[in-house]
Amino acid sequence: MRSLAFNIAYWVLSIGYTLAAVIAALAPGRAATGWIIRRYVKRMVQAMRLLAGIHVRYRGEDRLPSGAFIIAAKHQSWGDGFTVYDRFEDLAFVTGDHLEKFPLMATVLRKLGAIVVNNCGGRDARDALKSRAADAHRDGRKILIYPEGNLAKVGEKFRYRSGVWHMYRDFDMPVVPVATNLGLFWPQEAFRKRPGLATLEFLDPIPTGLPKDQFLARLEAAVEGRTAELVAEATGAAVTPAIQVPAPDELARAAKLPAAQA
Tell me the pLDDT tens digit for each residue of 50-105. Answer: 999 999 999 999 999 988 899 999 999 999 999 999 999 888 888 776 665 666 67
- % of the chain exceeding 90 in pLDDT: 62
Dist CA 67 CA 87 (whole Å): 15
| pLDDT of 124 strictly over 70 | no
Tell me the pLDDT tens digit for each residue of 181-208. Answer: 999 999 999 999 999 999 999 999 999 9
Q: Which domains does the chain have, with CATH numbers?
A: 57-254 (3.40.1130.10)
Please give the model's pTM, rounded to 2 decimal places.
0.87
pLDDT of residue 66: 87
| 133 against 22, higher pLDDT | 22
Q: Which residues contact 63 (CB under 8 A, 6 or more apart)?
A: 176, 202, 203, 204, 205
* Rg of the chain taking only CA atoms, in angstroms: 18
Closest CA to 180 of 230, 239, 251: 230
pLDDT confidence tier of residue 134, bands split at 50, 70 and 90: confident
Dist CA 11 CA 17 (whole Å): 10
pLDDT of residue 119: 55
* Strand intervals (E) in the chain: 54-59, 70-73, 91-96, 115-117, 142-145, 156-157, 175-180, 196-202, 243-244
Dist CA 80 CA 75 (whole Å): 6
- Count other C-beta atoms under 10 Å from residue 226's C-beta: 21
State the chain's mean pLDDT as an integer.
88
Contact 48, 182 (CB under 8 A): no
| 197 against 171, higher pLDDT | 197
Tell me the pLDDT tens digit for each residue of 7-38. Answer: 999 999 999 998 999 899 888 888 898 999 99
Beta bridge partners of 91: 142
Dist CA 53 CA 38 (whole Å): 21
**Residue 108: C-alpha distances to residues 58, 67, 90, 98, 99 (Å):** 28, 26, 15, 14, 10
pLDDT of residue 155: 95
Packed helices 163-171 and 212-235: angle between N→C axes, nearest 10 degrees: 120
DSSP-based three-state secondary structure for 126? helix
pLDDT of residue 129: 67
